[in-house]
C-alpha cells in the first residue's frame, strides 16, 4: 500500500499564506463592490470568490491527501533510457 506523504512546515506555511490572502481579498471585494450604488448591482465578486475557493480546496487536498507513487522509481528508470 502506498505511504501517505506528510506535508512539511514550509508547505503548511504557504497554505496559511494562501488562506490569509483569500480571506483578505474576499473581504475587500465584498465590502467595496457596491459602494455608491442605488439599485441592484451584479455580484461580480461571487465569480472570484468561487474560483479562488475552488483553488484553495485543491491546494488543501493536494497537501493533505497525497500518497507516494510506488511506480515512480520504475518510471524514472525507464524514462532515462
pLDDT in tens, 27-60: 999 999 988 888 898 999 999 999 999 999 999 9
Task: Kindly state whether residue 69 falls inside one of the protein's structural domains.
Answer: yes
Task: Answer yes or no: is 70 within a domain.
Answer: yes
Within-domain flag for 18: no
Whole-model pTM over 0.95: no
Residue range of the domain that includes 72: 46-81
Distance CA 16, CA 19 (A): 5
User: How much is the mean pLDDT over the chain?
Assistant: 92
Tell me how far apart the alpha carbons of residues 46 and 48 are, in angstroms, rounded to a whole number. 6
Give me the number of domains the chain comprises. 1
Residue 36 lies in a domain: no
pLDDT score at 70: 84
d(CA 41, CA 19): 27
| Within-domain flag for 30 | no
Q: Is the pLDDT of residue 2 over 80?
A: no
Has residue 53 been placed in a domain? yes
Provide φ and ψ at 67, rounded to 5°. Answer: -125, 150
Amino acid at each position: 500500500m502506498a505511504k501517505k506523504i506528510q506535508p512539511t512546515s514550509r508547505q503548511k506555511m504557504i497554505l496559511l499564506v494562501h488562506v490569509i490572502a483569500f480571506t483578505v481579498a474576499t473581504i475587500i471585494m465584498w465590502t467595496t463592490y457596491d459602494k455608491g450604488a442605488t439599485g441592484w448591482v451584479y455580484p461580480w465578486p461571487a465569480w472570484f470568490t468561487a474560483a479562488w475557493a475552488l483553488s484553495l480546496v485543491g491546494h488543501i487536498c493536494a497537501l493533505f491527501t497525497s500518497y507516494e507513487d510506488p511506480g515512480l522509481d520504475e518510471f524514472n528508470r525507464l524514462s532515462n533510457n
